[in-house]
Structure 1
Amino acid sequence: MLKIAIIGCGGAGKSTLAKKLGKILNIPVYHLDSIFWKPGWQPIERDELIEKTMEIQETNQWIIDGNYGATMDLRLQQADTVIFLHYSTIRCLYGIVKRRIQYHNKTRPDMGEDCKERLDWEFFNWVRTYNQKKAPQVLKRLSTLKETKIHIFTFPKQLEDFLKELKVKTNN
């Protein structure tokens, strides 16, 4: 596990997992949210996101968390491991509401500078419909990856067990 792509619905815990994996495996972590969002929630251009993602992927080791369709195929093709947090809609909605409360009037560590935590209807609705609209497309993409180790977790307990086993293997 040297090049790891972490994907899944908003609120599933992709960034938290990326940090934990980075610590266990001693691999640099890149949060796509912090790359995509400039101060004050200003997005970068699609081409710039692709360019920055490709620069990261030129390194020998990386953990990249986030969805971002513009770079999804690039990451999936380069990753030796893909982790898909495919949790229930309720779990993910809980995650985004909890995060909104926890980081009220603050910027999350995995977010772009000066992007205070917010929860708008568009994002709420995206999370609410992710398992119906986006997850089937993700699963279809994953089914085409033949040389990649794919982990699909549907419950947090599965992920916890995976991390415990990984810590034992790496003595971390």
Structure 2
Amino acid sequence: MKIYIVGSVGSGKTTLARKVARKLQIAHFETDNFVWTHQPTGDIRNEPEVRDYLLLEAINRDAWVIEGVHIDWTDAGLEESDQIIFLDIPFRKRTWRIVLRFIRQLLKIEKANYQPTFTIFRRMFKWNIYFENEMKPVFLVKFNKYEKKVHTLRTDKEVEGWLNQLERG
């Protein structure tokens, strides 16, 4: 099974990908980790050749779940996937999740790939708005090509229903 999960910051991509990877016992990849090399002194953007190599290395596996907001350079992953899950969670709910995540990270209840700073916190709100106004329309057009394998999930109930269906095979 090869599953590609996409959506905005706060949509639940990572949470869902972790659940899927555990249930199916398959590898889980975050597209952010293809784009960035995380270091104690700060993240370093990978060259496109490195980023693309990491993506190809992941999609050449027999089974995987990849999640992220990136679809501009990840066509190979979208092509190879059996299912594309678009988490089209409402804007307000994503905003609330961003706040909760930041609090959990500050309290060290939730781990982050980055240092949870107020600057990053503010950027997440901007990314959320940018996704809604700029990226989402691009996603919807791009998904036309893959319409038979795209599942658009808008609520927690729909996500749980899809997960239950996945379990049943």
- TM-score bracket, shorter-length normalisation: 0.7 to 0.9
Give the structure 2 partner of residue 116 of structure 1: 115
How far apart are the structure 2 equivalents of 1:53 and 1:69? 12
Q: 1:127 to 1:71 in 2, by over 3 A?
A: same
Q: 1:137 to 1:50 in 2, by over 3 A?
A: same
Q: Could you tell me which amino acid in structure 1 is paired with residue 152 of structure 2?
A: I
Give the structure 2 partner of residue 52 of structure 1: 54
How far apart are the structure 2 equivalents of 1:93 and 1:67? 16
Q: Could you tell me which amino acid in structure 1 is paired with residue 149 of structure 2?
A: K
* Match status 1:62 vs 2:64: yes
1:75-114 equivalence runs, <5 A = 75-104=77-106, 109=111, 111=113
Give the structure 2 partner of residue 163 of structure 1: 163
Whether the 8 Å CA contact 2:6–2:70 is kept in 1: the answer is no
How far apart are the structure 1 equivalents of 2:102 and 2:90? 19
How far apart are the structure 1 equivalents of 2:48 and 2:97? 27
Q: Alignment partner of 2:74: what SS?
A: helix
Which of the residues 28, 40, 43 maps onto 1:41? 43
What's the Cα RMSD here? 2.1
How far apart are the structure 2 equivalents of 1:5 and 1:16? 13
* Match status 1:11 vs 2:10: yes
Q: Alignment partner of 1:93: what SS?
A: helix
How far apart are the structure 1 equivalents of 2:108 and 2:76? 31
Aligned residues: 164
Give the structure 2 partner of residue 20 of structure 1: 19
Q: Could you tell me which amino acid in structure 2 is paired with residue 59 of structure 1?
A: R
What is the percentage of aligned positions where both structures have the same residue? 26
Q: Could you tell me which amino acid in structure 1 is paired with residue 122 of structure 2?
A: W
How far apart are the structure 2 equivalents of 1:35 and 1:106? 25
Q: 1:78 to 1:107 in 2, by over 3 A?
A: farther
Whether the 8 Å CA contact 1:89–1:131 is kept in 2: the answer is yes
How far is the alpha carbon of 1:87 from its aligned partner? 0.8
Whether the 8 Å CA contact 2:105–2:112 is kept in 1: the answer is no
How far apart are the structure 2 equivalents of 1:140 and 1:12? 19
How far is the alpha carbon of 1:105 from its aligned partner? 7.2
Give the structure 2 partner of residue 135 of structure 1: 136
How far apart are the structure 2 equivalents of 1:26 and 1:6? 16
| Structure 1 unpaired stretches of 5+ | none
How far is the alpha carbon of 1:106 from its aligned partner? 5.2
How far apart are the structure 1 equivalents of 2:162 and 2:102? 27
